[in-house]
A and B are shown apart, each in its own frame.
Chain A
Amino acid sequence: MTATNGPILELRGVNKSFGVVHVLHDVDFQIYPGEVTALVGDNGAGKSTLVKAIAGIYPIDTGTYLFEGKPVTVRDPNDVAALGIEIVYQDLALCDNLDIVQNMFLGRELKRRGVLDEASMESMAREALASLSVRTVKSVRQMVSSLSGGQRQTVAIAKSVLWNSKVVLLDEPTAALGVAQTRQVIDLVRRLADQGVGVVLISHNMVDVLEVADRICALYLGRVAAEVKASEVTHSQVVELITAGRSGSLGLAPAEAAQSM
């Protein structure tokens, strides 16, 4: 919907080393509002490092971090959260002994005259879930321990809607899910982007990626091998980009790909 605008979040020429290991080489990465950008790559390609750099967990060595076109300095995860960037980690950070509403408002509880405002929190949580057309949850007052993996993922994602996040990064949201639940989460990711949120999907599942993503960014040994429109590539091309860093005319030049080794 707003895909014609510039990127909401952009990294330019980002480098990151851990001691002598050069993990990210001049990485350029853009996230557009209303689009799902898939971040793919083999193990050790630098996906997690890139996410943690965006999340403010790892400071970047060189490069620029732009949010809504303006350079920003990101020192820790709180700076990132203040910008409206939400990261949904693989090991969903939910409390089993609290219900859905309590989890969605955890750490940001609404209060009225010093007392928890349960009524407002419950209706806001309900609206956030409804806006994502969530149907699989029986009651918003259900304990999280009674939810399936897909439902937990739903709650974690709905939390970002609740807080009007502008960018949501999802780390392997379907890795531990069955077929039906994966379906639900993928639908949810699409609806989240349709609301104008810039979504990053990190996944190993090429079927999911090709289905839901608008753009695909393939990392190969710490470099961006290619950034392509999902509609313009095939399954096997993406796999080649991941495993060899190049595919036909796409990807790194042969010399560069070899040098990265």
Chain B
Amino acid sequence: MTTLNTKLADAEFAADSSSDETFLDAVRSYARRVRGGDMGSLPAILGVIVLFAVFGLANDRFISALNLANLVTQAGSICVLAMGLVFVLLLGDIDLSAGVAGGVSACAMALTIVNLSWPWWAAVLGGVVCGALIGLAIGVLCAKLGIPSFVVTLAFFLGLQGVTLKLIGEGGSVRVDNPVIRGITIDNLSVTAGWAFAVLIVVGFAGLELFRHRSKVAAGLHHAPIGVVAARIGAVAAVTLGVTYMLSLNRSVNSNIEIRGIPYVLPLVGLLLITLTFVLNRTQYGRHIYAVGGNPEAARRAGIHVDRIRLSAFVVCSSLAALSGIIAASYGGKVSASSGAGNVLLYAVGAAVIGGTSLFGGKGRALDAVVGGVVVAMIANGLGLLNQASYINFLVTGGVLLLAASVDAISRRRRSATGLG
């Protein structure tokens, strides 16, 4: 054991356990990673800043409490759909049918409430199960039968639109006026509850980060310098408390009514983000998703059931798509034949990729989907405020997706040149 300890001390990676890496070193190595093509969510965060500046200057209503609340509710369904897509994109697959799978699921939910008078929670559960079944079917065809996911999900994209049409009837729509479902996007937490929630998030995050930092230092494991930990906590606190403050202001345009508080959809997205981040980073299942996305052959040889992992990713994706469809139905107050069709999927894929999830698989986080979702929602929202014709909206969003995909492809090339993975 003594020899082992000497060897441990001798080895170069002993530097791991000592805390001689300073905050500045960490900043420098981050800069090196960014230059090497490993940019993560950086383009998306820059995008948020640029969009705030551009739209804020172009229209004085853009940076207002009212519009911020609109932005949150618009981004909600995009973020949830994009988080689902991250699972599929991590494997290097694509799910083109996720948007319409959400449409069908929302339709199932709305119809069970309207026609069968199901309670809201049973209807939501039914909708999510509907999504999971669609995902199961896609997963079986892709993972077990071996059809490329592009083809399978393109077929489902067309087929599921037919299902929605049949369920609703040509040109019609189903109203969603259940107060709980509708309330996801139009009702707000009380200001006190909002602040309590925000403080809980910040304190919980800070406590967890500091606890993990201390136990890593104590066990002599690789850890980030305390400055980086502090910066991370600071960023989370600033964003959480800042948004809570803005949303706690009265944003009513009518001076007789008061509207304030966080829309329910925000904590909903927050909880999903925390759960999915935990699943991807801290569980064996999540680790295997990354492994299959990085090198399926290596994963297979390591004894991972690659086809089961792929199948499950499609199930997760379509289930989250169902939730996203329900949030979209809550926002629109109805489910129509075109729910989930059109640019919904484009927005969500764009969100995931803009956030830093790679289309080539193996790289991505749930957080990417949320940051990217905010960027996409800002574009749609800002262009709407500027009263642009809708063709501009399509052109800009398509352009942004293409730009994000190019950044992904270029940074991938740079990463492989610099060996940064």
Residues in A lying within 8 Å of B, measured CB to CB: 78, 81, 89, 91, 93-98, 102-103, 106-109, 111, 114-116, 118-119, 122-123, 126-127, 129-131, 133-141, 143-147
- Of A96, A109, A111, A122, the residue contacting B222 (CB under 8 A) is A122
Q: Are A126 and B13 in contact (CB under 8 A)?
A: yes
Contact in complex: B8, A126 (CB < 8 Å):
yes
Q: Which residues of B contact A140 (CB under 8 A)?
A: 13, 16, 222
CB of A135 within 8 A of CB of B12, answer yes
CB–CB A119/B222 < 8 A: no
**Could you say which residues of chain B place their CB within 8 Å of the CB of A127?**
4, 8
> Which of B175-183, B230-238, B288-296, B368-376 is the contact stretch?
B288-296
A102-B13 in contact given A130-B7, A145-B421 (Cβ < 8 Å) = no
* Complex contact A119–B215 (CB within 8 A): yes
* 8 Å CB contact of B219 from A94, A123, A137: A123
Q: How far is the CB of A156 from chain B (nearest CB, A)?
A: 10
Chain A residues in 8 Å Cβ range of B12 = 135-138
Most buried by A among B16, B216, B301, B421: B421
Q: Which one of B11, B283, B295 contacts A135 once the chains associate, using CB atoms below 8 Å?
A: B11
Q: A97-B362, A118-B221 are in contact. List 5 more A-B contacts (CB 8 A).
A: A81-B303, A97-B295, A107-B302, A115-B282, A137-B11
Residues of B within 8 A of A131 (CB): 4, 7
Q: Which residues of B contact A141 (CB under 8 A)?
A: 16, 222
- Measured between beta carbons, the chain B residues less than 8 angstroms from A98 are 287, 290-291, 294
Residues of B within 8 A of A118 (CB): 221
| With A94-B295, A140-B13, A145-B420: A123-B221 Cβ-Cβ less than 8 Å | yes
- When distances are taken between beta carbons in the complex, the residues of chain B under 8 Å from A103 are 298
Q: How far, in whole Å, are A138 and B415 apart by their CA atoms in the complex?
A: 19
Please, how many angstroms separate the alpha-carbon atoms of A170 and B336 in the complex?
61
Verify if B10 is at the interface (C-beta below 8 Å from A). yes
User: Smallest CB-CB separation from B303: which chain A residue?
Assistant: A107
**Bound state CA distance, A173 and B7, in angstroms?**
24
Residue of chain A at shortest CB distance from B222: A141
Complex contact B293–A108 (CB within 8 A): no
Q: Is the interface of B mostly helix, strand, loop or mixed?
A: helix
Across the interface, do B283 and A95 meet the contact criterion of CB distance under 8 Å? no
Q: Is the CB of B303 within 8 A of A93?
A: no
* Cβ-defined contact, A109 with B290, below 8 A: no
What are 15 A-B pairs at a CB distance below 8 A?
A: A93-B302, A95-B295, A96-B295, A97-B421, A102-B290, A102-B291, A106-B298, A107-B288, A107-B303, A116-B287, A118-B221, A131-B4, A135-B12, A145-B420, A147-B419
**In whole angstroms, how far apart are the Cα atoms of A116 and B215 in the complex?**
15
Indicate if the CB atoms of B13 and A95 lie closer than 8 Å: no
- The reply to whether B294 and A96 contact each other, CB–CB distance below 8 Å, is yes
- Enumerate B399-421 residues with CB–CB distance to A below 8 Å: 415-416, 419-421
Partner of A108, one of B4, B220, B294, B303: B303
In B267-321, the 8 Å CB interface with A consists of: 282-284, 287-288, 290-291, 293-295, 297-299, 301-304
Residues of B within 8 A of A136 (CB): 12
Roughly how many angstroms separate A224 CA and B288 CA in the complex, as a whole number? 41
For residue B363, CB closer than 8 A to chain A, the reply is yes
Tell me which residues across on chain A come within 8 A of B15, comparing CB atoms: 138-139
Chain B residues within an 8 Å CB radius of A114: 283
Query: What's the nearest-Cβ distance from chain B to residue A135, in Å?
Result: 5
Also in contact, A119 and B219, with CB within 8 A (given A134-B11, A138-B15): yes
Instruction: Name the residue of chain A whose CB is nearest to the CB of B301.
Output: A93
CB <8 Å contact, A95 and B362: yes
Whether A107 contacts B304 in the complex (CB less than 8 A), given A95-B299, A97-B421, A119-B215, comes out as yes
Residues B101-132 near A (CB distance < 8 A): none
| Residue in B13, B284, B415 whose CB lies within 8 Å of A139 | B13
CB distance from B11 to the nearest CB of A (A): 5
Flag if B221 contacts A122 (CB, 8 Å). Answer: yes
Contacts of A91 in B (CB 8 A): 297
B318 → chain A closest CB, angstroms: 24
Q: Which residues on A sit within 8 Å (CB–CB) of B302? A: 93, 106-108
CA distance A118 to B284 in the complex (A): 11
Determine the distance from Cα of A96 to Cα of B293 in the docked complex, in whole angstroms.
Answer: 10
B residues less than 8 Å from A93 (CB atoms): 295, 297-298, 301-302
Tell me the smallest distance from the CB of A188 to a CB of chain B, in Å.
13
Nearest-Cβ distance from residue B353 to partner chain A, whole angstroms: 16
Please report the C-alpha to C-alpha distance between residue A118 and residue B282 in the assembled complex, in whole angstroms.
9
Distance (Å) between the CB of A183 and the closest chain B CB?
17
Bound Cα distance A131, B13 (Å): 13
Q: How far is the CB of A38 from chain B (nearest CB, A)?
A: 24
Which chain B residue shows the least CB distance to A105? B287
Q: Give the CA-CA distance A136 to B13 in the complex, in Å.
A: 8
Most chain B CB inside 10 Å of its own CB: which residue of A97, A98, A114, A135: A97
Residues of chain A with a CB closer than 8 A to B8's CB: 126-127, 130
Q: Are B221 and A144 in contact (CB under 8 A)?
A: no
Question: How long is the Cα–Cα vector from A93 to B294 in the complex, in angstroms?
Answer: 11
A145 with B419, Cβ < 8 A, contacts A94-B298, A106-B304, A114-B283 known? yes
Whether A116 lies near B283 (C-beta < 8 A) is: yes
Q: Determine how close the nearest CB of chain A comes to the CB of B231; give it in whole angstroms.
A: 19
CA distance A141 to B421 in the complex (A): 13
